[in-house]
């Protein structure tokens, strides 16, 4: 298990850095994410209601997990047209960091900020369990503090996490090291048995070509406190916050 990183210190900042957490109707991991974000010194989470247009000076945006708009039509498809998404998409296109967790990943795919789609889990089940994933690309702004190829224990909770993309997209993702997280077994092996939902290539998370938009199905905010059984998700937040503190 990853040791608690202490890279970020309050003295690194002149004043608190704001990180926006978008709240869609039906988001249910928004406050877990807020709680995880607030546990980092110098970082102040601000909740951004989906109907607003103001990102309130946030230096990074997180789209949390949940069931935005009840997953009606397709997971993430209606949230993608929420008023605030216009600003989030522009923010991402300018190169600022956007992180989508679970339903947030689904929203990023629907919005076209990331390529591919997520369909129903291979075994029809809603899966809520601890999984092992490997940070196969440790050089992104979201993973820079993880040692190369780090094995992480982070839970998943989703019914539609089966990542799919046409072969040419998969090729492109591989060519540009855009696959960031892969499901593995407890020993870190990338096998079909360790693939919980049928995702192509065991993909658990991808980043866009520019490297500033990451989407993943596992929940790092649920692995960010000792009492939750794993601290492995902290490295993701800490990498991101270190990046925005340096910019």
Q: Which residues are tagged catalytic?
A: 102, 219, 221
User: If binding is defined by CB under 8 A, does position 121 make contact with other proteins?
Assistant: yes
Nearer to other proteins, 30 or 110 (CB): 110
Q: For residues 38 and 81, is the Cβ–Cβ distance under 8 A?
A: no
201 interacts with other proteins by CB under 8 A: no
Cβ neighbours of residue 13 closer than 8 Å, sequence gap 6 or more: 42, 245
| Site for other proteins contains 198 (CB under 8 A) | yes
**Which pairs with CB-CB distance under 8 Å and at least 24 residues apart come from 188-192?**
188/132, 188/134, 188/149, 188/151, 190/134
Residue 117 in the binding site for other proteins (CB under 8 A): yes
- Closer residue to other proteins (CB): 69 or 237: 69
Round to whole Å and give the CA distance between 176 and 64.
26
Q: Does 122 bind other proteins (CB under 8 A)?
A: yes
Question: Of 222, 199, 225, 212, which is closest to residue 28 (Cα–Cα)?
Answer: 222
If residue 118 lies in a helix (H) or strand (E), which one and from where to where? strand 117-119
User: At closest approach, how far in Å is the CB of 119 from other proteins?
Assistant: 6
**How many amino acids of this chain bind other proteins (CB under 8 A)?**
20
For 182, the 3-state DSSP assignment is strand
Q: What length does the chain have? A: 247
Tokens matching residue 127: 């899966």
Q: Coil, helix or strand for 153? A: strand
Residues 160-180 as b/e (b if ≥16 CB within 10 A, e otherwise) read bbbbebeeebbeebeeeebbb
Residue 140 CB, nearest distance to other proteins (Å)? 23
Structure tokens at 162: 């089966």
Report the nearest approach of other proteins to the CB of residue 124 (Å).
4
Convert residues 134-173 into a mask of x (bound to other proteins by CB under 8 A) and - (unbound): ----------------------------x-xxx-------
Among 54, 123, 148, 171, binds other proteins (CB under 8 A): 123
Is 31 among the residues that bind other proteins (CB under 8 A)? no
Q: Which of 65, 116, 196, 211 binds other proteins (CB under 8 A)?
A: 116
Which span sits near other proteins by CB under 8 A: 13-21, 39-47, 122-130, 170-178? Answer: 122-130
Which parts of this chain interact with other proteins (CB under 8 A)?
73-74, 77-78, 81, 109-110, 116-117, 119-124, 162, 164-166, 198
């Amino acid at each position: 298990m990853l040791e608690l990183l202490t890279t970020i210190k309050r003295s690194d900042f002149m004043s608190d850095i704001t990180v926006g957490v978008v709240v869609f109707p039906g988001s249910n991991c928004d406050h877990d994410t807020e709680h995880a974000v607030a546990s980092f010194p110098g970082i102040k989470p601000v909740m951004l209601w989906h109907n607003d247009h103001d990102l309130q000076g946030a230096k990074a945006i997180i789209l949390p997990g949940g069931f935005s708009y009840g997953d009606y039509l397709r997971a993430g498809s209606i949230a993608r047209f929420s008023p605030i998404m216009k600003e989030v998409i522009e923010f991402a296109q300018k190169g600022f960091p956007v992180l989508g967790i679970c339903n947030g990943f689904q929203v990023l795919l629907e919005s076209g900020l990331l390529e591919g789609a997520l369909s129903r889990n291979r075994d029809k089940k809603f899966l809520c369990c601890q999984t092992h994933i490997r940070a196969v690309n440790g050089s992104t702004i979201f993973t820079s503090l993880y040692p190369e190829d780090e094995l992480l224990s982070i839970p998943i909770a989703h019914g539609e996490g089966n990542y799919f993309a046409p072969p040419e997209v998969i090729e492109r993702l591989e060519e540009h090291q855009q696959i960031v997280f892969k499901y593995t077994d407890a020993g870190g092996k990338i096998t079909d048995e360790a693939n919980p939902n049928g995702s192509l290539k065991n993909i658990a998370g991808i980043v866009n070509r520019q490297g500033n938009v990451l989407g993943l199905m596992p929940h790092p905010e649920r692995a960010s406190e000792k009492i939750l059984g794993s601290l492995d998700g902290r490295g993701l937040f800490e990498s991101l916050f270190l990046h925005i503190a340096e910019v």
